[in-house]
Structure 1
Amino acid sequence: MVVDDDELLRLGLQRILESAGNITVSAVCDGADAVAQAELHRPDVALVDIQMPDLDGLSVLRGLRRLEAPPVVAMLTGFGTDGNVAEALAEGAAGFFLKDAAARELIPGVRLLAAGGSALSSRVMRSLRATPVPPVPPGQDSARAAAPAHTPLPGALTGRERDVLDLLATGMTNAQIAERLLLSRSTVKDHVSSVLAKLGASNRIQAAVLARSAG
């Protein structure tokens, strides 16, 4: 599902995505209709513009995440400011794309999101790496905060957890990590959960940002 107030952009993104052959855009709409359309069509992935006049993207993100069967949400932006990225990640976004991202980023990114991975535009990732993310304030729920700034990474990670984190930071899914490391998917899932807990990250992208920041 593509959510944007600009009809031409919606249709353009739909055409790009469906050119892949195995991606179907089940709905295109503005922010006000997003939750209703998601309930009707049950998309696997929603691409949501972060700046819309009727209902901003962060509000749409919150509404989608409250659904019984929420889609994986990635945010779209024309500028990708750090504050927007951090706030979207804190609200549970699993990806972040610039609107002018080439099809070579957008199509693989949507596939990764649908498969349970994370996807971040290369320019957004470079921006995040260059800007320290503030630590979680005392008493604030870590799941509502941007990725804490740990550079270098905490030493509590085991060697295998570091291996998993290295691959997670490239956007690999659990299945791909399992194949690369010759582990079962359930073992990889356990390692990912442990890595997130030890880093204080609430999702895979936050962990990826920390890994990239630490080199």
Structure 2
Amino acid sequence: MVRVMIVDDDAMVRGFLRTILTKSGLDVVAEAADGDEVVSAVQAHHPDVVLMDLRMERVDGIRATAAAVALPSAPGVIAMTSFDTESAILDAVHAGAAGFLAKDSGPDELVAAVRSVAAGEGALSPRAARVVMEQVGSRPAARGRREARELLAQLTERELEIAGAVAEGLSNAQIAERLFLGEATVKTHLARATTRLGVNRVQLALLVDRAG
């Protein structure tokens, strides 16, 4: 069962999210009311996925996301906000969020995002995906391409092949089918690639796109 932690300074929002998640068969193992509670709660409860509000009083969700993903055996973080501005989306992705959803997303979209991130895949809302890709396109082409290629040169041939498929938006199961590999093998190669580069799945896809 997927273990989920909810971080939001509004108790009603936490209750609403808890209800949706538990009715869908997900296990809400912890809650936090502010970003300064995140690290200790993650260490105590070991969630697979953290739903992270971005606007909180003491420590905002961007800083809390960066702290959470820096932990050993880090959870996947899905940033959630009522204000899906370009800066909020990009800040969350750069901090290490594996997903980004607006708080008005439907229950099915929320649950699908949690399951996707728990499986090691990304979960960007359509608007977030557009913003991220526009950011890639706006970087100085030659410099961005060179930097990305230098990073990707650290990967093995198979890891690069899988990274390219990730950038196409393929799931692990689809990549396994294309490359005639087991899904577990795909996950292993992907985990090695992201660990070596210090990125998550979303950031790996951005690197591949930037490298051309």
2:6 is the counterpart of 1:2 = yes
> 1:126-149 deviations in whole A, cap 9, x for unaligned?
23334456649xxxxxxxxxxx96
Which residue identity is paired with 2:104?
Answer: D
2:76 is the counterpart of 1:79 = no
Structure 1 residue matching 2:29: 3-state secondary structure: coil
Across the aligned residues of Structure 1 and Structure 2, the Cα RMSD in angstroms comes to 3.7
2:17 is the counterpart of 1:19 = no
Q: 1:53 to 1:205 in 2, by over 3 A?
A: same
Q: 1:16 to 1:195 in 2, by over 3 A?
A: closer
Supply the distance in 2 between the matched residues of 1:128 and 1:42 (Cα, whole angstroms): 29
The offset of 1:35, in angstroms, is 2.0
In structure 2, the residue matched to 1:90 is: 94
Match of 1:35 among 31, 35, 39: 39
2:175 is the counterpart of 1:172 = no
The offset of 1:186, in angstroms, is 2.9
Structure 1 alignment gaps of length 5 or more: 137-147
CA contact (8 A) 2:6 2:52 kept: yes
CA contact (8 A) 1:82 1:131 kept: no
What does residue range 125-204 of structure 1 map to in structure 2 within 5 Å? 125-132=129-136, 135=139, 165-167=164-166, 169-170=168-169, 172-173=171-172, 175-184=173-182, 185-186=184-185, 189-190=188-189, 202-204=199-201
- With 79-88 and 123-132 compared, the bigger mean Cα shift is at 123-132
Which residue identity is paired with 2:80?
Answer: L
In structure 1, the residue matched to 2:203 is: 206
Supply the distance in 2 between the matched residues of 1:122 and 1:196 (Cα, whole angstroms): 26
> 1:61-91 deviations in whole A, cap 9, x for unaligned?
1332343332211211112222222222222
The offset of 1:162, in angstroms, is 6.1
2:112 is the counterpart of 1:108 = yes
Which residue identity is paired with 1:108?
Answer: A
In structure 2, the residue matched to 1:44 is: 48
Structure 2 residue matching 1:117: 3-state secondary structure: coil
The offset of 1:96, in angstroms, is 1.1
Greater share of helix? 2
Q: 1:6 to 1:66 in 2, by over 3 A?
A: same
Supply the distance in 1 between the matched residues of 2:30 and 2:190 (Cα, whole angstroms): 35
Q: TM-score, normalised by structure 2?
A: 0.73
The offset of 1:12, in angstroms, is 0.8
Structure 2 alignment gaps of length 5 or more: none
In structure 1, the residue matched to 2:123 is: 119
- Indicate the percent of aligned positions where both proteins have the same amino acid: 32
Q: How many residues align?
A: 199
Q: TM-score, normalised by structure 1?
A: 0.72
